[in-house]
Chain A
Amino acid sequence: GAGVSQSPRYKVAKRGQDVALRCDPISGHVSLFWYQQALGQGPEFLTYFQNEAQLDKSGLPSDRFFAERPEGSVSTLKIQRTQQEDSAVYLCASSLPGGNEQFFGPGTRLTVL
């Protein structure tokens, strides 16, 4: 497939557990974004990478959230000590350099019990 892929599609975690969410962007897309979408809300920006450099992490809600993209392709969003308020769909998007369109993956639905 040529689109953005995310795994797992669904994740259930007990409160306090650590989780790792993976994003495979479209090949050749140097820009990668993470968004958080709560139920019934629009996506909210978390962080942005250009290649392996994290250029903006202003949307990360707390220091429990950490994202990396060590080789400039696959990215991982890690949430430590998950809380119930972290329950949401986490969307990954990628775009070409200077591109206007962000291509979204299907998201990972995280439920924290």
Chain B
Amino acid sequence: QKEVEQDPGPLSVPEGAIVSLNCTYSNSAFQYFMWYRQYSRKGPELLMYTYSSGNKEDGRFTAQVDKSSKYISLFIRDSQPSDSATYLCAMVVIQGAQKLVFGQGTRLTINP
């Protein structure tokens, strides 16, 4: 069993919909949680970073962490076609210069 599980999708929703992406993890030592976005044939780019349970909002994006359930989520409001990409959750045990453990990635398509 992988340390980080993520539904690979694909997920297809209409423009303007609210999107929910989720990951579960088994290693309780993970303390820092990230969401990366990866466009086709590009490297991942950091979207959100959080280290505590609760919600963190940045524009149309909200990251949610529940350490007691070992469950993290990313919500995208007012989704746009430009949001179509693969979304990867990633986790790290210790802050700073540590290897990231990624989920499988969820492929998301926003239909105009």
Contacts and interface: CB of A to CB of B under 8 A. Distances in A.
Interface of A: 4, 31, 33, 35, 40-45, 48, 50, 56, 59, 91, 93, 95, 97-107, 109
B104 A42 contact: yes
Given A91-B43, A100-B32, A105-B43, A41 B105 contact: yes
A104 B100 contact: no
B26 interface: no
B100 A99 contact: no
Interface of B: 4, 6, 8, 32, 36, 41-46, 49, 88, 90, 95-97, 99-105
13 contacts: A41-B105, A45-B101, A59-B99, A95-B97, A97-B97, A99-B96, A100-B49, A100-B95, A101-B49, A103-B46, A104-B36, A104-B45, A105-B43
A35 B5 CA distance: 18
A98 B95 contact: yes
Nearest to B90: A42
Given A42-B104, A42-B105, A104-B44, A48 B99 contact: yes
Nearest to B49: A100
Give me the 4 closest cross-chain CB pairs, A-B, nearest first. A104-B43, A42-B102, A98-B96, A45-B99
